[in-house]
Chain A
């Protein structure tokens, strides 16, 4: 069942068009991730769905009902603000209970619901304390609990992990996966971090300057991005200009130093950008069939179980993900190849 359907949404704030022509839908129980850089309109979109901002065009349908004009507070949504917005004058318990106070529950029922969510998020020890004593991760959990305490609502999460330490971010992300699997609350999760989006989402939508430029499954968008912007949003990718000089092969610009024999994978346009993800670049110490092209090591970034090696080929620069324990030093000559066909993007301008 479709929980939310957004059709051709247009939002103008302070005379600037923030969102235009935005259309997507979210199925019940789905975790839909919205990925995009800052100022692409992600927060505005969430606030518009919640009813905080009015729309200048388009519709929003909640389970088929048009709620585009419904006042904020009357829509079946829960919003977790990027700023967290915990009530500092209320205890953890009262913060969590706040959304339920309007519902005339018996005190026993209220306590039960709060206790349930506190246990789920492992914040039972915070119920009697005040937000100013919480750590960053604890604050985030309580805010999440408050947003989740009404499970019948659509959960809107605005960059919930961006203010946290890298370590805590990882922990909470895993926890959220577990919680979502359990609760199956329809969620729209906004983030600028592709690793979060790819790891959590059932489906991903990429936002660029107020429009959704691609929507699909995580692996689908990652392996088939519609353009180079989307490819870059989803992770590191090397983009190199290319040109086809004869009917069978593509050549890398600008000094025609590498020729790719593609055979069947030739793109329909004669020039543009070639996209190669670092993990598709194979590196070895000697020339082999899989690694026919010579390159020079320029910089090595150690990242733990792999290293990101910047290689110079002619005047192009490629970053490769090297997992084998190769002995690489700056200036060393190595041989590279591609483990799969690159992506081709038609792009008239320079990168």
Chain B
């Protein structure tokens, strides 16, 4: 018995070790190859700057880039909060009212077909070159997945639970908050995650098209000036912005699911 446990443990340590070492090794090989290619002048530094340069620039310009990143972070956050509020209230309406569902939902699906990315210039026309345009655009991109996912979640509650509510004479709103909402939470958060990704895309594309600050502006500015190292370190900063936002969302999801888990557990 002890022997078996020991073998299992050893196997586990070995596989865990492999699962950590292998990706790191692969990553290092890529970085090494990259450095080597640049050192041997196979590719010009304009196309691919050595990884060391990117890191140096990242450290040297961190204050400057953090300023740009903060603008992007703020815009993404605000747009995401707005689209969450709007999206959740819209899907509430769709769930509560049969009439609204029949009227709105097919139109939403139709709207979802529009390649929203192509609307970026239109938003600049409507809202100017300032923050408002990017906020509105990020919101518009994020709204559809949030509404579609959360309405799907809210509408697909188990029929037995709904029948139970009805037989216990629960009101429409009571059913909504006590049964539908807790059950739909995982689905809602899936929609929110997609929405967050799209918000970031919206804000960055908005900054590509026209902006005087922000990470997207910095990336396109650096790329057009052939400052590839700057562009790559700006992309790294965007990664940090994305990570901050995602970590925040995952924390909120964890807390909310924790609070509702007592209710939602069947």
The answer to whether A and B come from one shared complex is no
What is A's interface to B at a CB cutoff of 8 Å? Answer: none
